[in-house]
Structure 1
Amino acid sequence: MSEPHHRLEALEQTYGELLALCDGLETVADSLPHAVTPRMCLTLAASLEPLVARTHRLEEEGLFPLLEASQGRQWGPTLARLRAEHLADQSATAEVSEALHDLGNGRSALSPDAMGYLLRSFFDSMRRHVQSEQELIAMARRDPGNAPD
């Protein structure tokens, strides 16, 4: 199996982890202002940035080369947009991670409503990201020029 295809398998597994993390963020958002355990917030905060970074790396090393190799499609503008979105995602991820860390340590500067909004905006965006990238993976796999070696 070629390297990009192997990375796609790892990427799909990472998407599952990212979606599970989004479920955890939704649990926190749903339970505000009560029943939020500091441990859960701190665990999510610690996991978030490394997981998003790994997801982006696997997309850039696995999915993007397959899209570039696709027959009959010009992916340049789409890939440039996706790379720019990765930068925006990294910034949002850092903000959410910091807010969760503060919440877990009992010193959140955000109101429960603001924290809930921040979390919902983030996990909704991440879920859309995953869905969009999964559609791109399916398109790349259907391309005869991208058959596994």
Structure 2
Amino acid sequence: MKRAHLQKLRLCDTLEIIADALPNVDRLRCLRTASAIVQLLRDIHRFEETVIFPAYEANLTSAEANLASTARLRVEHIEDQCFAGEVAESLLAIGHGEPIESAEAVRFMLRGFFDGLRRHIAFEREHVLPRIGVSDTDPAA
């Protein structure tokens, strides 16, 4: 799980670098990121939903189980994957040299995506990992 968080945080950092550089971006970085983003999230989400979430749910009290946190996290996974497709499409276009009509709009899209991922990771670190017995004392880990 920590490795999955690290991979997603690296993705967030790369997207932030791209957002900060707009409209003068590294086109190769855009292409590399676009080619990896959807599959990376799909693989991590599959792991979380088949391994981590069942372990988390098994450690909840009956009152906590009614909060439906994992149901919300699963919905966020779907939203993140859809959003990742849109991000990948934009990055591919930029990477292939298509003109950036609105750097501000692309910046907004990228920031919305990586901010959401970071919030999701923060929730998992604060609530899910402790319940499954994973220590996460290093916030950068």
2:96 to 97, 105, 108: 105
The residue correspondences of 1:1-149 to structure 2 (distance < 5 A) are: 11-34=1-24, 36-73=25-62, 74-75=64-65, 77-108=68-99, 110-135=101-126, 136-141=128-133
What does the per-residue CA deviation read over 1:122-148, in whole Å, with 9 as the maximum and x for residues that have no partner? 111111111111221123317xxxxxx
**Which runs of no fewer than 5 residues in structure 1 stay unpaired?**
1-10, 143-149
**Which runs of no fewer than 5 residues in structure 2 stay unpaired?**
135-141
Q: Who wins on radius of gyration, i.e. which is larger?
A: 1
Contact 1:99 1:108 in 2 (8 A): no
Task: Give the Å deviation of 1:110.
Answer: 4.3
- Structure 1 CA distance, aligned partners of 2:20 and 2:57? 40
User: Cα RMSD (Å) of the superposition?
Assistant: 1.6
TM-score computed with the length of structure 2 as normaliser: 0.85
Aligned residues: 131
Q: In structure 2, the residue corresponding to 1:141 is in which secondary structure?
A: coil
- Structure 2 CA distance, aligned partners of 1:131 and 1:20? 14
- Structure 1 CA distance, aligned partners of 2:34 and 2:65? 34
Overall identity of the aligned pairs, in %: 37
What does the per-residue CA deviation read over 1:23-56, in whole Å, with 9 as the maximum and x for residues that have no partner? 010000001112x111000001011011111111
When residues 110 and 88 of structure 1 are mapped into structure 2, their CA distance, relative to the original with a 3 A threshold, is: farther
Task: Give the Å deviation of 1:75.
Answer: 2.6
TM-score computed with the length of structure 1 as normaliser: 0.81
Task: Give the Å deviation of 1:66.
Answer: 1.0
